[in-house]
Amino acid sequence: MVDLNELGRRAKRAAQDLATTPTEHKNAALNAIADALEDAQEAILAANQADVEDGREAGLSDAMIDRLTLTEARMGGIAADTRRVANLPDPVGEEFDAYTLPNGLRVRKRRTPLGVLGVIYESRPNVTVDVSALALKSGNAAILRGGSETLRSNMALIEAIRAGLDAAGLPADAVIYIDDTDRAHVLSLLRLHRYVDMIIPRGGAGLHAFCRENATIPVITGGIGVCHLFVDDSANLASAVDVIQNAKVQRPTVCNALDTALIHEAVAEAFLPQVVGRLREDGVTFRADPRALDVLNGSPGVEAAGPNDWDTEWLSLVLGLKVVDGLDEAIAHIQAHSTGHSDGILTRDEAHADRFVDVIDSAAVYVNASTRFTDGGQFGLGAEVAISTQKLHARGPMALKELTTYKWIAVGEGHVRE
């Protein structure tokens, strides 16, 4: 039986060691982990194949199967991402905001690790490595709890990670995995405030709500994306088709994939047939509002949008289409239906772009670019632990700096307060 308090004690001890581990030692461990992942690739893929087969038998959706699946190419990317984290600047120990008070007291801030991260996630075994790498580089320990559908995959990955830590002489308890699928352990982890400093859930809306409602530890939520692109009347329509195709098709099962395209009425007749014709070739089907339906006039694969479609994160090859009067209606629609993840405008009107960026309060706001860039690697941060859509502590891709806090340091010469 899993003893969460014992796991918490072990993780806390490891975090205390990691907090003062030199950068070069952490980097050596990350490279050792990447080597161990490559050495164990055959066993990891075999374990993953068993999970995938069980997932199909259990009726998991195509989107869930895609998230669950590891391939040689994806394993190569995971190892490469781990090495990239080793090459990133270490935020721990960075000093900033230094100043001297009129009384001569010298004050500054120093960046420090958060401590122990509790990460609860579903389906994606790559998260096991991403979290481990970022936690290690930022001086944090991690307690991980993945979904039952990925247990074999995650255990094989954890074995390689701990082998890499051991080879580098760092505590294997820097990464602890809860290998019991009893859901009661999730609630126990959410209340392990004596040892865990932050909870990061990665999964559906239900998981996020459960964590927010039951945790006695601060929770960072996000990763649920109902994402929009607005095609303005001044947009380069050929470029807009390319951007929308990339945002919808490049990897439709992830949180930064496009869900709804909003089209200015002035370009709807010219643009809608273009975008539908292009994306239909990729297997995309469409949910259209009445004005878009009138323009498309019975085009194959296009059906009327239902009452909940504008609030649906499709995670599949489905795209919502809506014709709007202009920028103001596009903004109003996004404010009503966005989850605050990734939203953008396609325009050549600088004033419209500026207003859109000022008013849309999402974690990532785009001008003339695909929403698919909301990603730690694409933003130059290395792998990410999550994408936060909340406003406290961190927003958007959470990478190394977002996994740290800071302490105040005040240096005097016998100063006393009067």
Q: What pLDDT is attached to residue 63?
A: 77
Instruction: Give the DSSP letter of residue 69.
Output: -
Instruction: Give the DSSP letter of residue 319.
Output: E
User: How many other C-beta atoms are found inside a 10 Å radius of the C-beta of residue 3?
Assistant: 10
Please state the φ and ψ torsions of residue 313, each to the nearest 5 degrees.
-85, 105
Q: For residue 219, what are its two tokens?
A: 């929770």
CA dihedral 84, 375, 140, 201 (to 10 degrees): -150
The terminus-to-terminus CA distance of the chain in angstroms comes to 57
The rounded distance, in Å, linking the Cα atoms of 151 and 204 is 18
- Contact between 334 and 342 under an 8 Å Cβ cutoff? The reply is no
Q: Write b or e for each residue in 254-271: b if 16 or more Cβ atoms lie within 10 A of its Cβ, otherwise e.
A: bbbbbbbbbbbeebbeeb
Q: What pLDDT is attached to residue 202?
A: 86
Q: What pLDDT is attached to residue 206?
A: 86
Q: For residue 279, what are its two tokens?
A: 């994306």
- pTM here is 0.84
* Consecutive H or E run containing 258: strand 258-264
Domain ranges of the chain: 4-221+390-411, 227-373
- Contact between 155 and 177 under an 8 Å Cβ cutoff? The reply is yes
Q: What pLDDT is attached to residue 175?
A: 98
Please report, for residues 106, 412, 414, the alpha-carbon distance to residue 417 in angstroms, rounded to integers and kept in the order given: 14, 11, 10
Counting every residue written for the chain, the total comes to 418
Q: Write b or e for each residue in 231-248: b if 16 or more Cβ atoms lie within 10 A of its Cβ, otherwise e.
A: bbbebeeeebbebbbbbb
Q: What pLDDT is attached to residue 387?
A: 87
Q: For residue 176, what are its two tokens?
A: 């602890």
- Report which of 135, 132, 141 is spatially closest to residue 164, judged by C-alpha positions: 132
Series of mean pLDDT values for 10-residue runs along the chain (418 residues): 94 97 98 98 98 95 88 95 93 97 97 97 90 96 95 97 97 96 93 96 86 94 89 97 98 93 98 97 97 94 95 95 98 96 97 97 96 88 80 86 95 94
CATH assignment, 4-221+390-411: 3.40.605.10
The rounded distance, in Å, linking the Cα atoms of 67 and 252 is 11
CATH assignment, 227-373: 3.40.309.10
The rounded distance, in Å, linking the Cα atoms of 198 and 195 is 10
- Domain 4-221+390-411 shares a fold with domain 227-373: no
